[in-house]
Amino acid sequence: MDTLLLLASTAVDAAPAAAALTDPATSKLWAYAGFLGLVVVFLALDLGVFHREAHEVKMKEAVTWSVVWLTCGIAFSVFIYFAYENHWLGLGLDTAKYNTRAAVEAGGALIVSGEVLGMEAAKQYLVGYVVEKSLAMDNIFVIALIFSFFAVPARYQHRVLFWGILGALIMRGGMIFLGAGLILEYQWILIVFGGFLILTALKMALIKSNDDPSQNIAVKLAKKAFRTVDFYDGQKFFTKRTLKPTYSRDPATGKEVMAPPPAGSLSLKSSITPLFLALLLVEITDLVFAVDSIPAIFAITPDPFLVFTSNIFAILGLRALYFCLAALIMKFRFLKPALILILAFVGVKLLLLSAPPYLPVIGLEKGSPVKIDTTVSLVVVLGTLALATVLSIALPARKPASKA
């Protein structure tokens, strides 16, 4: 009898723990933890194994890594399908999703919590991934400009991009979960997101941005707040050198070796190198582009897990993509117009979905939300990019006539 009572007591005590394990919200935390663990492994292998020594990334290596990251990003959609279809770790259960048009017309909320199955989740992930990947193209234009301005040696560019993307992962993660919380609480924010995307598209189409990184306010503030040097100390972001390093070639290995600093030439205080200023601008650039791209993916799905994973996988491949396209991207003259059209499309998609129920606020009759199917979105985005690529190849930009 005592044994039975002890077993019954143990079962009662274990019930809350078992309930916590089966709770979808708690289980999803393990999904996020597992995904972040996977990202950490990828980054550790990248920097600690494959890029332990600073070197110039050649086209063959860049293409190989681009294929690897693209394969990983697309393959993850297979995991998404099975995870949501079978509700592994609670994925697809009590999940934020856009309500049906009929339900919203009947007075239901635009965003509800319910079941999302594998095929729909996989399509939403793929659309989000393609949108983020395509918007990253414009980021490459700016990064190439930054590296050119600071004359960052080719062998140190990967280090800047690595730490830049690590910072981007943290910034974007925070912005995604902040955005997800806001739209669940205040669904009218989707209208702000949609309007912002359309305004951004108009700005990209009509206003030429400032191409001089030295005029960036962050660079000016950094130079005022910290000691700076105008030379590179290897791949260091900070240095105590006051004299530019000299190099010699090791006859045994053929590698370039930095000479030690002359006696008495080291400063007691560290200074920031141009490599740090380049990193600072890369971080700011990604923050600016995140403000555009994160609202764009919320036009596809309000599910934070799909938004986060598709965004992160798109960023992870940005470094390899940069080394593939930095020299070629200027030849794709129709790429920027394509990005403008994609931004405008997702902005309109978001407004059609979110604005109609709020039309009475401006004196108009309440309308029904228009939900563009996920498959249609995928076809539009991929089709726009494909058309831009074909037109860029078929109609290359004319070279300026040389003066006699």
pLDDT tens per residue, range 356-400: 888 888 888 888 888 888 788 878 888 888 898 889 888 887 665
Q: Whose CA is closest to 318, among 150, 118, 134, 151?
A: 134
User: Where along the chain do its domains lie?
Assistant: 24-209+300-360+367-394
| φ, ψ for residue 94, nearest 5 deg | 45, 50
pLDDT tens per residue, range 264-296: 899 989 999 999 999 998 888 888 778 777 888
Q: Whose CA is closest to 117, among 163, 84, 160?
A: 84
Among 25-29, 61-65, 78-82, 320-324, the range scoring the smallest mean pLDDT is 320-324
List b or e across 137-157, with b for residues whose CB sees 16 or more CB atoms inside 10 angstroms.
bbbbbbbbbbbebbebeeebb
Q: Identify the bridge partners of residue 239 per DSSP, sorted by sequence position.
A: 271
pLDDT tens per residue, range 48-103: 666 667 777 787 888 888 899 999 999 999 999 999 999 999 999 999 999 888 88
pLDDT tens per residue, range 195-238: 888 888 888 788 765 556 666 787 888 888 889 999 999 899 99
Instruction: Give, rounded to a whole angstrom, the gap between the first and last alpha carbons of the chain.
Output: 107
